[in-house]
Amino acid sequence: MKAIIESLLVEMEESLKRVTQETFNELQKVERCGRVVNGILIKLKAFMSTYQFMNSEEEILFFKEYKPTFLKELIFYSELTYLESKKPIGKKEQVKNYYHHMMDQMQDFFARNHQLYIYHQLDRSDQDELLFLKNSKPVSLIPDYTIDFDPEFSSINSSNLARIMAYEDLTEYVRKRLVNLDMGVDTLGKEKARHEWTDSKSALIELAYALHSRGAVNHGKSDVKLIISIMESLFNVQVGNFYRTFQSMRGRKKGRTIFLDSLKDSLEKRMDETDMGYH
């Protein structure tokens, strides 16, 4: 299962990069990204339809980590398509009020799913068997009626977790748009699109944490979130929940600094080749 899912993740990231590098307007890019993710999810569902979990740990891994990673992207692009297509064309204050209204709607969802949201924020795992098995009961006391769920591919808490993760990314997107409106700039313009981050999102997060740990930005006074925000704007990328990615890096059994190690190797190789007169 792991190998198939990781190959689908790579396919999804590479396909999304290709779409964002093409010369569509922003709304077209978002809509096409949604179609890419939907196609990947269809492949994932086809694979899982014939797959039997080896144990409860693997089942939890799928519904807590793997499935939400794909589904949150679909939700994000679907919601972003709606958000930007409905955005008013007019004065700055009208646009700001619209964004604030959308933020309020997302906060309502967080409030309705407060227990799951806190569990996710704290990166807990002690209640995983109650929350992320196929037959797990919903966390919220408010009924969540679903007649279209495929019980072999979906669970209430897994789907709600994916929406929480998507809304976190969307909230950050809206927050940046509000800042841009206040500053009178548009970081989604054509100039920005010339600079694309072409490595993995986890690689950017690893680099940002390294810069922060070294105190290399603003004499160490800038926090990780600000450093990542700057890099996102510079390289036209959204990394999502960087804290959870960092926690995953900490848990790596072999090589916790894969990207930094590869940077060092690449630079030393270039120096060696330069010494030998190749460049």
Give the sign of the dihedral formed by CA 89, CA 94, CA 100, CA 102.
negative
What's the pTM value of the predicted model, to 2 decimals?
A: 0.69
According to the 3-state scheme, what is the secondary structure of 50-72? CCCCCCHHHHHHHHHHHHHHHHH
- Could you tell me which of 176, 181, 202 has the C-alpha nearest to residue 262? 202
Contact by Cβ (8 Å): 232, 225: no
Pick out the chain residues at pLDDT < 70: 23-24, 140-151, 183-194, 278-279
Count of alpha carbons within 13 angstroms of residue 251, beta-carbon side:
7
Q: What is the pLDDT of residues 204-232, one digit of tens each?
A: 999 999 999 999 988 888 888 888 888 88
Q: Residue 190: its pLDDT value, please? A: 44
Q: What one-character DSSP code corresponds to residue 153?
A: T
Q: What is the pLDDT of residue 275?
A: 79
How many other CB atoms sit within 10 Å of the CB of residue 158? 23
Phi then psi dihedrals of residue 101, to 5 deg: -65, -45
Region of residue 219 (phi > 0: left; psi between -120 and 50: alpha; otherwise: beta): left
pLDDT at residue 230, rounded to an integer: 83
Q: What does the CA dihedral 169, 178, 33, 22 come to, rounded to 10 degrees?
A: -140
| pLDDT score recorded for residue 191 | 44
By CB neighbour count within 10 A (0-12 exposed, 13-18 middle, 19+ buried), where does 260 fall? middle
The pLDDT, as a whole number, for residue 229 is 81
